[in-house]
């Protein structure tokens, strides 16, 4: 059930159709003066409630970003329909009351699916509710070893005839051995080249998603499947760990008493598991730390703080620093009120404090939506410092994108394009 798609496929259209049908049944009654006035009042009041909620969320910055107009319109339409349903609870036969109650539920579901489809970040019912569908992935073993003198993979790998056309996605519980952090199962993507006999050792990407969000590998898997189809099945192996935990908190990419050791989990436990269990190239030159939004802030912080761990970065619409949406609360909750510690944990400050030459030879990609002004400035600020300290930097704005699904997909496409030759997966 949790795997039911709610962005693509028939489910959204079925729900929208039901919503329209229930709305018409509840609206169409004998057109008496009383009902016309009641219906108009219910529609207007309901619409104003939805519009007011959208405006209030925008004014109070309840979700950390401006509420997009389509979301406000979905809320307005949903509450207008609910208003009609509520109006049918009085001066009506029992069957109409039953239809009204069912209609309220359907209107809420339709509105939720519509808003979710706009954001394009929760493709399944489970992901919408933060429930990870248990899909344990079998990690294949291989006796093939990486030979650094043999040349890049795109020159040495010959795909067998039985290689799958697409990679595999699944979940993997990664033990929090050192951190003790409570994490949901990580998402894992294995490209086609990882699924053949005597598979080659492949590059590794560790990618973190946004907040709120889920460790869902489907976005990067879709992009990498496209690239793999054009490059003999070659793509990185991907782990999408849970840097948030199951309770919806934002640990701000740090270790803390409040939310646990999220930083240690990603930088030690996940890394150790990858080295021990995946057939990957062990040289950090072929490792990428990546992230979207909240995960992007984590990714750039970890690259800056642990330069021996990763040599490459993809930061998609990333926060300028972990905790940027609510610095006061993060300073108090995560850093115990220590403002100096909070400031020192910002990626730009970490890079400035590092010895000269620390980041030489690193490749970093920073992307953002062209219609996402807050994160455009963040990407420009952090990418500028990354370039100053010696990284090879690509800055890219996804045309027409905001901060949601189109920015994520477009950012991944640009980041992967830059990284393929860097990781030895293509000539250019």
Tell me what pLDDT residue 133 has.
67
Instruction: State residue 87's pLDDT score.
Output: 95
Q: What SS3 state is found at 77?
A: helix
Report d(CA 425, CA 359) in Å as an integer. 23
Strand order in the sheet with 237-240: 168-172, 186-190, 237-240, 204-208, 287-292, 312-316, 363-369, 392-398
pLDDT > 80? residue 121: no
On the question of pLDDT at 34 being above 70, the answer is yes
Element (H, E) at 240: strand 237-240
Say which DSSP state 183 is in. Answer: -
Residue position matching structure tokens 């590998």: 217
Q: How far is CA 386 from the centre of its chain?
A: 23
Residue 68: the pLDDT is 79
Q: Look at residue 380 in the predicted model and tell me its pLDDT.
A: 97
Q: Is 36 exposed, middle or buried (0-12, 13-18, 19+ CB in 10 A)?
A: exposed
Which of 61-65, 81-85, 370-374, 416-420 has the lowest average pLDDT? 61-65
Report pLDDT for 262: 97
In order of their start, the domains of the chain are 10-119 (no CATH), 135-422 (3.40.50.1820)
**Model confidence at 3: pLDDT above 90:** no
> What are residue 354's phi and psi, to 5 degrees?
-75, 150
Task: Provide the H-helix boundaries in 120-261.
Answer: 125-128, 153-156, 218-229
Q: Are strands 363-369 and 392-398 parallel, antiparallel or unpaired?
A: parallel
Q: Are 288 and 314 in contact (CB under 8 A)?
A: yes
Count Cα neighbours of 309 within 13 Å in the Cβ-side half-sphere: 23
Calpha distance 102→95 (Å, rounded): 11
Q: Which helix (H) or strand (E) holds 99?
A: helix 94-119
Contact 261, 207 (CB under 8 A): no
- pLDDT of amino acid 404: 86
- Which pair of structure tokens corresponds to residue 307? 């330069």
Contact between 195 and 167 under an 8 Å Cβ cutoff? The reply is yes
Cis peptide before 299 (omega within 30 of 0): no
Judged against a pLDDT cut of 70, whether residue 132 lies above it is answered with: no
More confident residue, 5 or 235: 235
Contact between 179 and 265 under an 8 Å Cβ cutoff? The reply is yes
Instruction: Over range 377-403, report the average pLDDT.
Output: 96
Distance between alpha carbon 73 and the CA centroid of its chain, in Å? 24
Both structure tokens of 95: 């069957």
pLDDT tops 70 at residue 228: yes
Tell me: pLDDT of 148 over 70. no
Give the distance from CA 221 to its chain's centroid.
Answer: 12
Rounded Cα–Cα distance for residues 169 and 226 (Å): 14
- Three-class DSSP category at 290: strand
pLDDT, position 146: 67
Q: Which conformational region is residue 181 in: left (phi greater than 0), alpha (psi within -120 to 50 degrees), or beta?
A: beta
The C-alpha atoms of residue 27 and residue 227 are separated, in whole angstroms, by: 50
How many other C-beta atoms lie within 10 A of the C-beta of residue 149? 4
Query: What pLDDT is attached to residue 122?
Result: 79
pLDDT of residue 127: 74
pLDDT confidence of residue 295: 96
pLDDT at 190: 97
| List of residues 6+ apart from 169 with CB closer than 8 A | 135, 137, 187, 188, 189, 190, 217, 218, 221
pLDDT over threshold 80, residue 64: no
Q: How far, in Å, CA of 322 to CA of 251, rounded? A: 9
What's the rounded mean pLDDT across residues 134-143?
76
* Two tokens, residue 243: 């840097």
CA 99 to the chain's CA centroid: 37
Classified as helix, coil or strand, 172 is strand
pLDDT at 25 over 90: yes
> What pLDDT, in 10s, does the model give residues 331-361?
999 999 999 999 999 999 999 999 999 999 9
| Percent of residues, the chain, with pLDDT higher than 70 | 95
Among 110, 101, 40, which Cα is nearest to 74's?
110
Rounded to 5 degrees, φ, ψ at 174 are -100, 115
Predicted pLDDT at 5: 80
Reading the block at residue 315, the tokens are: 């930061």
pLDDT of residue 141: 76
298-309, pLDDT tens digit by residue? 999 999 999 999
Distance CA 322, CA 317 (A): 13
Dist. CA 218–CA 224, nearest whole Å: 10
For residue 384, say if its preceding peptide bond is cis, omega within 30 degrees of 0.
no
Q: What is the spatial distance between Cα 312 and Cα 361, in angstroms, rounded to a whole number?
A: 9
Average pLDDT over the chain, rounded to an integer: 92
Task: Quote the pLDDT of residue 212.
Answer: 83
Burial of 248 (0-12, 13-18, 19+ CB in 10 A): exposed
pTM of the model: 0.86
pLDDT surpassing 80 at residue 223: yes
């Amino acid at each position: 059930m949790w795997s039911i798609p709610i962005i693509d496929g028939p489910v959204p259209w079925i729900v929208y159709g039901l919503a329209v049908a229930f709305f018409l049944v509840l609206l169409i009654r004998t057109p008496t003066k009383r009902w016309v006035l009641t219906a108009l009042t219910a529609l207007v009041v309901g619409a104003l409630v939805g519009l007011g909620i959208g405006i209030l969320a925008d004014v109070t910055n309840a979700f950390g970003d401006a509420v997009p107009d389509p979301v406000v319109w979905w809320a307005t339409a949903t509450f207008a329909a609910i208003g009609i349903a509520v109006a049918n609870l009085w001066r009506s036969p029992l069957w109409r009351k039953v239809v009204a109650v069912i209609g309220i539920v359907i209107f809420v579901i339709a509105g939720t699916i519509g808003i979710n489809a706009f954001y394009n970040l929760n493709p399944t019912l489970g992901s919408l509710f933060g429930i990870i569908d248990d899909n344990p992935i079998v990690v294949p073993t291989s006796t093939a070893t990486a030979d650094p003198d043999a040349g890049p993979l795109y020159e040495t790998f010959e795909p067998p005839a039985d290689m799958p056309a697409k990679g595999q996605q699944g979940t993997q519980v990664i033990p929090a051995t050192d951190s003790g952090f409570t994490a949901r199962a990580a998402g894992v993507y294995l490209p086609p080249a990882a699924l053949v006999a005597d598979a080659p050792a492949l590059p590794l990407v560790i990618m973190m998603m946004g907040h709120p969000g889920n460790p869902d590998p489907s976005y990067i898997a879709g992009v990498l499947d496209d690239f793999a189809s054009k490059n003999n099945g070659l793509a990185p192996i991907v782990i999408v760990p849970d840097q948030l935990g199951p309770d919806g908190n934002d640990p701000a990419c740090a270790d803390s008493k409040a939310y646990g050791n999220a930083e240690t989990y990603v930088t030690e436990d996940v890394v150790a598991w990858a080295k021990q269990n995946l057939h990957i190239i062990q040289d950090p030159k072929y490792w990428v730390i990546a992230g979207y939004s909240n995960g992007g802030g984590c990714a750039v912080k970890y690259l800056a703080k642990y330069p021996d761990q990763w040599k490459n970065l993809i930061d998609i619409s990333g926060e300028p620093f972990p905790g940027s949406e609510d610095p006061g609360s993060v300073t108090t909750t995560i850093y115990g009120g220590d403002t100096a510690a909070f400031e020192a944990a910002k990626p730009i400050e970490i890079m400035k404090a590092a010895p000269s030459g620390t980041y030489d030879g690193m490749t970093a990609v920073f992307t953002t939506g062209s219609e996402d002004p807050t994160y455009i400035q963040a990407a420009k600020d952090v990418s500028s410092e990354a370039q100053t300290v010696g990284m090879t930097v690509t800055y890219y704005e996804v045309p027409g994108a905001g901060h949601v699904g189109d920015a994520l997909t477009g950012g991944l496409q640009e980041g992967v394009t830059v990284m393929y030759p860097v990781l030895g997966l293509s000539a250019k």
